[in-house]
Structure 1
Amino acid sequence: MTMQTPRRFLPSTALLAAFEAAARTGSVTLAARELNLTQSAVSRQIKLLEEQLGIDLFSRERQTIRLTAAGDAYGREIRQALRQITTASFNLRANPQGGTLSLAILPTFGTRWLAPRLPRFLTLNPGITINLATRLTYFDFRTDVLDAAIHFGPPDWPAVEMALLRSERVVPACSAELKNQFGFRVPGDLKKAPLLSISTRPNAWDQWFSAQNIAGGSGQTMYFDQFATAAQAAMAGVGVALLPIFLIKDELASGRLVRAFNRPMESSERYYLVWPRERSTHPPLIAFREWLLQEAAADRSDDSDLLRSRQKP
């Protein structure tokens, strides 16, 4: 037998929406305008909510309102809850069969690797809608309305299940003009040029130099939050970037980027698909996971074939 939640802890969405709008705007007038209600109606709804909860959410001084400490904390949680309700309603309306997958992606992986392949998945699964959101680091699935995420790093994300997608090999890349300008002859010469780094991988260059038996440390280093912007800067001749080969195949093939040295290094971390355990049986996630693992396996096979062809005498 389940315990019924007391009604005062389940306020109506109308009361919560009035409170959230007033808390966010700091004004009953602005909240009323946003909700297309009268000021007195909004004030009445907020007062009803306070009476229902037994707590003052605002302190009132003449014609102004100010959140109490309790109201500020409550407002943050209610805003997130209303956002989740809005997202769920939007997804249901977009796909009444419930076939929606909300996926967090790494920006460059998402745009350069995943997006070109998505039409194949959607053709195979016409009833599924995919919503994409960018996330650069770990997040909490309990508070973020997402079903799964593409993750790069060690397999240490707590309270999730994960499937290995692929490894990566990085290579120092730059424009042909910059390579000619500095006349690189040995790997240590790269320290003479500006080095472009990704902020989430601050030690990547030290690891690459160490793999070449060269002491770490360099002169000028610029940091970027995404591989895409670092690659663009490298193509523009700003410096040398340490980039995943599988994400810059087109640029290397066209000559927009060249290898400063053909000394690839395999990263110690991997790409994974991760999802919270309670979403394991979500049908769109099951279909996407099976498809994604097939795509990743085919891509790894292509990379191996290319590597073997380059190693032939």
Structure 2
Amino acid sequence: MSRRDALPPLACLRAFEAAARHASFTQAGSELNLTQSAVSRQVKRLETDLGRPLFERSHDGLRLTPAGEQYYRVVCRVLRELADESARLRRHGNDHQLTLASSPTIASLWLARQLPDFQHAHPQIEIRILTVEDPYRLDLAEFDLGLYYYLENAVDPPGVLAEPIFDSEDVIAVCSPAYLSRHADVRDADDLLDHHTLLVVEDHFNDWLTWQAWYQGLGLEWRPPAHCLRVNSYQLLMHATLAGQGVTLGWSRLLEADLRQGNLVRALPHALPSRGRLSLLTPQHRHLTPAARTFRRWLLNEEA
């Protein structure tokens, strides 16, 4: 290959892709564990190699040039295909390995309780669980299937197909028996706001699951509660609920086992159909491994 036809260094392509995606050398550096100046130098080296600018630089940040936009699409496709094929080759020879991505909450409260039945039916499959809170941060090359709550008509996580696991699901108010033993029973929705502690998650990914939206969706009168405990993690919020620290909102199917076992009880009889559905996320543009196909059929009740 002549020098003129030589491919740019992979490090430069990765720096360019991250900088274009974030519109920032600084954020790209944070993702790649590089300094801002190191990312800038790699992009500059790529621009010199190509003989044209890829970014317009200003005090407001970065913006791709027309040539940069075209090059970005090509680089994204090439890097994705390279990552997928590398992952496939690493897994080659072990078609019985399955990596499941999920949020920590779903993994601990629901998935871990489903897996014994699957492993009993398919003991030859080795399972690895990868916990990532936000599905938008998933690396498609690192997992076979994902389990996340998915909102229809919202922005889809890139590169995945979402299939609902349950036909329907409700959002309900729950607490632990220990909480009720230390407090009076919740008489009604007004009493909950006036005399009990509401557990609230401050998390942009779950900001559609709010007490105010729940009350208003049920046609109940909403006002700021007298007592709140706020956390920034839904997993931590559920641990606080089980420990008897207050009343929280949860999905009926996700919490089914804890409700059946008496670890949680419904604080109110009200139920609001959930906007989000627990869904199976399947990476697109990639063939599923035999293990992934088996798990998908089992989870969606498609096994013969």
CA–CA separation in structure 1 for the residues paired with 2:288 and 2:3: 28
The residue that corresponds to 1:197 in the other structure is 200
CA–CA separation in structure 1 for the residues paired with 2:218 and 2:49: 68
131 and 212 in structure 1: CA distance in 2 versus 1, 3 angstrom threshold: closer
The residue that corresponds to 2:239 in the other structure is 232
Question: SS of 2:250's equivalent?
Answer: strand
The residue that corresponds to 1:162 in the other structure is 162
Residue 120 of structure 1 deviates from its aligned partner by 4.4
- 1:65-80 aligned at under 5 Å gives the runs none
1:210 to 196, 216, 224: 216
Q: Does the CA-based 8 Å contact 2:147-2:279 persist in structure 1? A: yes
Larger radius of gyration: 1
Q: Which runs of 4+ in 1 moved over 6 A?
A: 12-17, 25-28, 48-55, 81-88
Residue 273 of structure 1 deviates from its aligned partner by 1.4
Q: What's the TM-score, normalizing by structure 2?
A: 0.60
CA–CA separation in structure 1 for the residues paired with 2:178 and 2:133: 34
2:188 to 186, 189, 201: 186
Task: Supply the AA of the counterpart residue of 2:189.
Answer: P
Q: Does the CA-based 8 Å contact 1:104-1:135 persist in structure 2? A: no
2:130 to 129, 132, 135: 132
The worse-fitting range, judged by mean Cα deviation, of 222-231 and 239-248 is 222-231
How many residue pairs get matched? Answer: 260
121 and 179 in structure 1: CA distance in 2 versus 1, 3 angstrom threshold: closer
Task: Supply the AA of the counterpart residue of 2:122.
Answer: L
Question: SS of 1:264's equivalent?
Answer: strand
1:266 to 273, 280, 286: 273
Could you say what the CA RMSD is over the residues aligned between the two structures, in angstroms? Answer: 5.0
Unmatched 5+ stretches in structure 2: 15-31, 39-44, 53-74
CA–CA separation in structure 2 for the residues paired with 1:5 and 1:275: 40
- 1:1-313 aligned at under 5 Å gives the runs 7-8=5-6, 10=7, 24=34, 92-93=89-90, 96-97=93-94, 100-122=97-119, 124=122, 126=124, 130=128, 132-137=130-135, 139=136, 144-145=140-141, 146-156=143-153, 158=156, 160-166=160-166, 167-183=168-184, 184-192=186-194, 193-198=196-201, 199=203, 200-210=206-216, 213-219=219-225, 220-279=227-286, 282-294=289-301
Q: What's the TM-score, normalizing by structure 1?
A: 0.59
Question: SS of 1:24's equivalent?
Answer: coil
Question: SS of 1:271's equivalent?
Answer: strand
Question: SS of 1:230's equivalent?
Answer: helix
CA–CA separation in structure 2 for the residues paired with 1:86 and 1:174: 44
CA–CA separation in structure 2 for the residues paired with 1:266 and 1:217: 21
Question: SS of 1:286's equivalent?
Answer: helix
